[in-house]
A and B are shown apart, each in its own frame.
Chain A
Amino acid sequence: MSRAEAGPTAAAAAAAGPAVAGGPRWPAGLVRSEIALTFRRWRTRVLLAVLAAVPVLVGIAVRIQSGRAGGGADGRGPAFLAQIAGNGLFLVFTALAVTLPVFLPMAVGVIAGDAVAGEAHTGTLRYLLVAPAGRTRLLVAKFAAVAVFCLAGTLAVALSALATGAVLFPLGRITLLDGSTLPLGAGLLRALAVAAVVALSLLGVAALGLFVSTLTDSGIAAMATTVGLVITAQILDGIPQLQALGPYLFPHHWLSFADLLRQPVYWDGMAQNLGLQAVYAAVCGSAAWARFTTRDITA
């Protein structure tokens, strides 16, 4: 195809092949394919179903409790638990506060950990790469799909909580943490904003899981490692003697989303949280890229 004497010139490039793309293309088609693939897996659907079940269980428990004692919780338990009986909308905040420390990051860890390693394990990775998906392009598409799952998982919890709250409890004006009140419509907007912040809070885990996923050809090992790292980070964050470490651990600022329930909104904690997530995404994303683009694909 290349003319005999031609070096790597434009002429040789133009003669390269019949099906060569004109220029670089944004991976929109591949991203769609990745997202469709992720959500067609049974594993993904089961995870979403489990996440959606959590608020239902919390809601039923609170309903039974409040019916029996007539006064709701006694101040112990997860954040906002006491307010649920008075306003079903608080079930959204409670459910997110309950699932964010463990259930949501575990689910994200499973999806992210499997993203590359799972395809390496089944061998489909080599066919994607000779397609040629392009290693950077594939990694970007994988991260995009995991990010979409972060949002889907959060929405599964939030919408299930909203539905459960609406069925089991009254809805109405909500009383914020500082005592001011908002109409229901504005409250729903706050709930949506909380869900968005929670979804963004998971991006650090998503990038970490994707990096782990590029290290091995075993999807199970990558999932287990990622989930293990999530739990380890949570434990380390909870040890008072390791306080100095806390601000650098990705779960440290997670519950700052509660600051959205103040009037005016208190942004500092959330800014720190999202900044930390961005750092984790950048560092782990770069590591994943460095590893994946230089790695021998032998599976």
Chain B
Amino acid sequence: MPAPPAAEPGRAAPGEEDRVIETRGLTKVYRGGRPAVDGLDLAVPRGSVFGFLGPNGSGKTTTIRMLMGLIEPTAGTARVLGRPMPGAARQVLPAVGALIEGPALYGFLSGRDNLRRFDAADPAADPRTRTARVGRALERVGLAAAAGKKARSYSLGMKQRLGLAAALLQPRALLVLDEPTNGLDPQGMREIRALVRELAADGTTVFLSSHLLDEIEQVCTHAAVMARGRLVTQGPVAGLTDAVFGPGGRGRLAVATPDPGEALRVLAEHGLTGLRADGEHVTGELAPPEGAPPPDVAELNAALVRAGVRVRAFGTERASLEDAFVRLTGEGFDVAG
């Protein structure tokens, strides 16, 4: 493995000042094992909602721990908010809210006292505004009514909300959320997604790891995919599926018709591949052969109608991030890398 470039504070690539997180050759090797994170070059743009994907054991949490200064990298450098970590933890972390590997609370303290405790640990937090800030954070995550209860009696979803509230005690430039919707019911998940969008709209960069791909697809502007400690790809979410499946090759055509046989014939004539008929439901890949322009969906519809195919429904199904993910990592989720 080539030695990663040494940290040169003066060196700056164009646009570097717009990176909230930037790592170069970031590597972590736990004692006697293969690298948990191997030569990671991550770039998180300011203002993005950045999805961090990967199967279990692919190094996501190790990366987050290095970014937060909890563990020392074996090699490489990490910069958060433009400053080196873990060296500048004191200056960087007050502007960072984090939820790492699930919430951890003092069960014998109330929800409110848990937040007061974590706020007291932050030397940049003004104790005079503590009560007000704790109250606002509790309201923001919908826990105001349960704030006086002992955290021990909280459900997993409530603990998750309290963990989020701790990350929101101060206005933050960066939020690092590791599986934030874990343990939440669908209603809670929707609320968290709304909260993430709201925070992003306020200008907070959100770094979000999740194993729920449709969740990433719904809220994230950018994403990175990890597999076995290495970065497989990163970039805007829309570009990610393009990059994997090619432009225009991101979807399947879906037609509902009482004449599936005729529809298959017409679509095959127009160059669609992977055609399947399942009862009245006909689908085919819109991916064009190499070099050819993608078929015009409107033309396909007109052709079907001209051929006398009665069309009940007509539309395209986009390739999901999950399709891209499976293509990239060659494995489903919940598989240890």
CB <8 Å contact, B69 and A16: no
Chain B residue, CB-CB nearest to A138: B121
CB <8 Å contact, A17 and B94: yes
Complex formed: what's the CA distance from A127 to B159 in Å? 14
Say yes or no: A2-B83 contact (C-beta < 8 A), given A21-B124, A130-B93: yes
Q: Which of B65, B109, B117, B118 contacts A298 (CB 8 A)?
A: B65
- A5 proximity list for chain B (CB < 8 A): 10, 12
Say yes or no: A16-B9 contact (C-beta < 8 A), given A130-B69, A130-B93, A133-B122: no
CB <8 Å contact, A130 and B70: yes
CB <8 Å contact, A122 and B71: no
- Of B100-108, B181-189, B251-259, B262-270, the one contacting chain A is B100-108
- Of B84-92, B215-223, B225-233, B287-295, the one contacting chain A is B84-92
Complex formed: what's the CA distance from A232 to B155 in Å? 43
Residue B166 CB within 8 A of the other chain:
yes
Q: Which of A12, A18, A33, A126 contacts B82 (CB 8 A)?
A: A12
- A76 proximity list for chain B (CB < 8 A): none
Complex formed: what's the CA distance from A128 to B17 in Å? 28
Q: Which of B9, B93, B105 contacts A132 (CB 8 A)?
A: B93
Q: Which of A33, A130, A296 contacts B98 (CB 8 A)?
A: A130
Chain B residue, CB-CB nearest to A296: B71
Complex formed: what's the CA distance from A294 to B72 in Å? 8
Residue B173 CB within 8 A of the other chain:
yes
Complex formed: what's the CA distance from A130 to B91 in Å? 11
- A130 proximity list for chain B (CB < 8 A): 68-70, 93, 96, 98, 100
Q: Which of A3, A12, A122 contacts B104 (CB 8 A)?
A: A122
- A298 proximity list for chain B (CB < 8 A): 65, 70-71
Residue B120 CB within 8 A of the other chain:
yes
Interface code B1-37, partner A: CB below 8 Å = 1, 0 otherwise? 0000000011010101100000000000000000000
CB <8 Å contact, A297 and B65: yes
CB <8 Å contact, B104 and A19: no
Chain B residue, CB-CB nearest to A15: B82
Residue A124 CB within 8 A of the other chain:
yes
A-B CB pair tally, cutoff 8 Å: 140
Minimum CB–CB distance for B62 against chain A, Å: 9
Say yes or no: A123-B9 contact (C-beta < 8 A), given A16-B81, A29-B120: no
- B16 proximity list for chain A (CB < 8 A): 4
Complex formed: what's the CA distance from A29 to B172 in Å? 21
Complex formed: what's the CA distance from A30 to B17 in Å? 34
Complex formed: what's the CA distance from A127 to B107 in Å? 15
Complex formed: what's the CA distance from A294 to B122 in Å? 20
Minimum CB–CB distance for A214 against chain B, Å: 15
CB <8 Å contact, B81 and A1: yes
Q: For residues 31 through 52 of chain A, which have their beta carbon under 8 Å from a beta carbon of chain B?
A: 32-33, 37, 40-42
Minimum CB–CB distance for A2 against chain B, Å: 4
CB <8 Å contact, A128 and B106: no
Complex formed: what's the CA distance from A126 to B68 in Å? 9
Residue A244 CB within 8 A of the other chain:
no
Residue B279 CB within 8 A of the other chain:
no
- A129 proximity list for chain B (CB < 8 A): 68-70
CB <8 Å contact, B82 and A16: yes
Residue A8 CB within 8 A of the other chain:
yes
Q: Which of B12, B72, B83, B121 contacts A128 (CB 8 A)?
A: B121
- B14 proximity list for chain A (CB < 8 A): 4
Complex formed: what's the CA distance from A44 to B23 in Å? 44
- B100 proximity list for chain A (CB < 8 A): 126-127, 130
Q: List 10 other contacts, CB 8 Å, given A132-B94, A133-B122.
A: A1-B17, A2-B82, A4-B14, A16-B88, A17-B81, A21-B124, A33-B116, A127-B100, A134-B123, A296-B70
In the complex, 12 of the A-B residue pairs with CB atoms within 8 angstroms, ordered by the A residue number, are A2-B83, A16-B88, A16-B91, A16-B92, A16-B95, A30-B120, A33-B120, A37-B109, A124-B104, A126-B100, A127-B118, A130-B68
Q: Give residues in B with beta carbon < 8 Å to A.
A: 9-10, 12, 14, 16-17, 65, 68-72, 81-83, 88-96, 98, 100-102, 104-109, 116-125, 127, 163, 166, 170-173
